[in-house]
């Protein structure tokens, strides 16, 4: 059994080494379009929620098909969405849909998502009974996308996923798109455009009506033979490392049992990912070396068997299920005397699994969720400490929890900022979370915040400025430079944190509708920017405060948090404060008498929040 687990870990790592050579995906774009066929009585707000977009974005790409601010039924809307490589197999994106009573895979595919997905894809990425999906269950909706084909043309690099409907044919679609019919057929070889079902890929235009050319591949200058040779060398090195590690491992006594590492018993480490980290447990200590390739520490104290996890969750029963994420479900369990949350991930999510495992085995902080262990038998499992009170989004946007007092909101903001400051300032290399939002901030029994969900984390070298990367994350929290160009730096997290500050004040969603007409729908950033620009910003901000707070909040404190949110969400990333400066500002605000080190670089931010 131990050998089997070791081999599974090895082949999982082997998959990552070979990814660029063996992957069936040919990634060449960050954004694609979904052609959504609008059914009667379906509002633009509902469509934006289903497609994880915003009303403003949809309008900007569909001005010709929207009359008087509202979409016309039986028309198509082109809606942008991230185009990612899913499981190394195909290009697509996984949307999260909250099921309604009576939903089935068939109704979700054909009605709710207008044939953009299929029943087969829904079955593959979900584990529900196809005729009995629970109400409010999180359903993974996978939509395919395309980035083009350089052998057909390099003039087109952004494509529409276009579901075929009765009456469609190749020439009508080509005429509507003002494209050559033969070109469309070459992009969709062997496809019958008149079959009235399935999807095809059509070149799309940007907001200015222009076609986006196919981006050159990052490895275009690397010969295929060289790439294969490099990968083979990496595989051989990894194989040798695994043999050595497991040879040493099996020299240890069989049946040795170790306790789970806890915050009190674990020696925190800020070692470089390419180095090693030491864990001290009760009565024993051990050192596990992480490879520079994957950063995964295969430590015995963190391994679980499938049998142990299945027993603790009653075979992953619905009674133990406490959540559903983009790549799997979360279950409650008690393991070896400790309350835990077990994330069960599909094998297709190996990239996210490895990323989170890499981060949380090297980065330890009170304000970051603690990883206890993992398992790679059958599926991919991550075992975390159990956080009693759910996430911040449930407190702010849900109905089943008591409203957080203002002092608690400020404390959670400070806790979250400290967690992010730690991964930005105190780790080598620097980690960028890339999906900071209220749903990824957990609340413990003492109403303290912990940052969670590191599956999209990116790392950069210390002193590095920005990277260019594929678009992932959540609409409403993405800064302009990332959403438009894929530029990534720690200031991406700063922007998203600013949106969270606005959420803490208002309990509103990051993208919301502020009135009856579509024109009044806007992002939370724009809403607060407008309020702060008024002649009396205090009164304007007061109108945005969560009504559940009543009058139990100091308006000066609320205004300062709003001003801090504004600093975080500036369009120019160079003008945003660092997480270090944000921590100092929040410390000053939450405890004015506390001794704070104000020697950080953004002194203007400290002045902004000082008592006047």
Q: How far is Cα 558 from Cα 507, in angstroms, rounded to an integer?
A: 13
Q: How far is CA 127 from CA 93, 104, 130, 512, in A?
A: 18, 12, 9, 31
Residue 342 region by backbone torsions, left for phi larger than 0, else alpha for psi between -120 and 50, else beta: beta
Give the distance from CA 260 to its chain's centroid. 28
For residue 564, give both structure tokens: 């801090």
Q: How far is Cα 35 from Cα 293, in angstroms, rounded to an integer?
A: 39
Write down the H helix ranges in 480-520: 480-485, 490-506
Is 300 labeled as ligand-binding?
no
Length of the chain: 612
Active site (annotated) includes residue 435: yes
For residue 18, give both structure tokens: 């070979």
Q: Between helices 524-532 and 490-506, what is the axis angle to 10°?
A: 70
Point out the catalytic residue in the list 435, 453, 493, 546: 435
Q: How far is CA 483 from CA 30, 156, 466, 468, 480, in A?
A: 9, 20, 14, 11, 5
Q: How far is Cα 92 from Cα 100, in angstroms, rounded to an integer?
A: 24
Residue 481 region by backbone torsions, left for phi larger than 0, else alpha for psi between -120 and 50, else beta: alpha
Q: How far is Cα 83 from Cα 177, in angstroms, rounded to an integer?
A: 21
**How, if at all, do strands 449-451 and 441-443 pair?**
antiparallel
* Cα torsion 52, 54, 59, 61: sign: negative
DSSP, residue by residue, 89-126: TEEEEEEEEEPPTT--HHHIIIIITTTSS-HHHHHHH-
What spatial distance separates the first Cα and last Cα of the chain, rounded to whole Å? Answer: 66
Residue 484 has φ and ψ, to the nearest 5°, of -90, -40
Residues placed in the known binding site: 344
Residues placed in the known binding site for ATP: 344
Active site residues: 435
């Amino acid at each position: 059994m131990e050998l089997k687990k070791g081999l599974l870990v090895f082949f999982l790592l082997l998959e990552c080494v070979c990814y660029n050579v063996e992957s069936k995906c040919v990634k060449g774009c960050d954004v694609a379009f979904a052609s959504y066929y609008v059914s009667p009585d379906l509002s633009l707000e509902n469509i934006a929620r289903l497609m994880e977009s915003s009303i403003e974005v949809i309008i900007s790409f569909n001005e010709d098909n929207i009359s008087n601010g509202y979409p016309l039924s039986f028309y198509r809307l082109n809606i942008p969405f991230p185009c990612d490589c899913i499981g190394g197999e195909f290009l697509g994106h996984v949307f999260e849909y909250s099921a309604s009573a009576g939903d089935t895979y068939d109704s979700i595919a054909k009605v709710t998502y207008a044939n953009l997905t299929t029943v087969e894809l829904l079955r593959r990425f979900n584990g529900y009974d196809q005729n009995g999906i629970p109400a409010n269950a999180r359903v993974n909706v996978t939509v395919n996308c395309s980035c083009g084909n350089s052998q057909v043309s390099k003039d087109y690099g952004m494509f529409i996923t276009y579901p075929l409907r009765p009456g469609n044919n190749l020439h009508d679609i080509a005429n509507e798109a003002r494209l050559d019919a033969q070109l469309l057929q070459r992009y969709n070889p062997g496809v019958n455009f008149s079959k009235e079902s399935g999807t095809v890929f059509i070149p799309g235009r940007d907001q200015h009506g222009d076609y986006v050319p196919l981006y050159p591949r990052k490895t275009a200058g690397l010969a295929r033979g060289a790439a294969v040779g490099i990968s083979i060398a990496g595989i051989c090195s990894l194989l040798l490392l695994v043999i050595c590690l497991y040879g040493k491992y099996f020299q240890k006594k069989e049946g040795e049992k170790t306790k789970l590492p806890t915050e009190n018993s674990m020696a925190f480490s800020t070692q470089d990912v390419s180095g090693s980290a030491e864990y001290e447990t009760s009565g024993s200590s051990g050192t596990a070396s992480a490879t520079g390739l994957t950063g995964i520490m295969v430590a015995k104290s963190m391994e679980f068997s499938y049998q142990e996890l299945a027993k603790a969750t009653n075979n992953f029963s619905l009674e133990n299920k406490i959540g559903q994420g983009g790549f799997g479900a979360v279950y409650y369990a008690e393991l070896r005397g400790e309350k835990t949350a077990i994330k069960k991930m599909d094998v297709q999510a190996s990239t996210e699994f490895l990323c989170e495992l890499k981060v949380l085995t090297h980065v330890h902080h009170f304000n970051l969720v603690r990883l206890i262990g993992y398992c790679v038998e059958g599926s991919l499992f991550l075992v975390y400490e159990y956080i009693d009170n759910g996430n911040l989004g449930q407190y702010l946007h849900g109905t089943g929890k008591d409203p957080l007092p203002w002092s608690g909101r400020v404390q959670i903001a400070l806790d979250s900022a400290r967690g992010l400051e730690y991964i930005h300032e105190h780790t080598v290399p620097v980690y960028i979370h890339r999906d900071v939002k209220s749903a990824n901030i957990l609340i413990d029994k003492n109403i303290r915040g912990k940052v969670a969900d590191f599956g999209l984390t990116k790392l950069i070298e210390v002193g590095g400025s920005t990277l260019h990367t594929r678009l992932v994350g959540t609409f409403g929290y993405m800064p302009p430079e990332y959403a438009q160009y894929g530029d990534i730096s720690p200031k991406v997290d700063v922007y998203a944190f600013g949106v969270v500050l606005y959420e803490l004040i208002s309990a509103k969603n990051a993208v919301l509708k502020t009135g009856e007409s579509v024109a009044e729908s806007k992002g939370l950033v724009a809403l607060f920017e407008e309020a702060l620009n008024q002649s009396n910003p205090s009164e304007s901000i007061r109108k945005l405060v969560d009504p559940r707070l009543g009058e139990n909040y100091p308006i000066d404190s609320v205004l300062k948090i709003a001003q801090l949110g504004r600093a975080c969400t500036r369009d120019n990333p160079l003008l945003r404060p660092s997480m270090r400066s944000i921590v100092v500002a929040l410390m000053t605000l939450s405890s004015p008498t506390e001794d704070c080190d104000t020697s950080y670089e953004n002194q203007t931010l400290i002045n902004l929040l000082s008592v006047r």
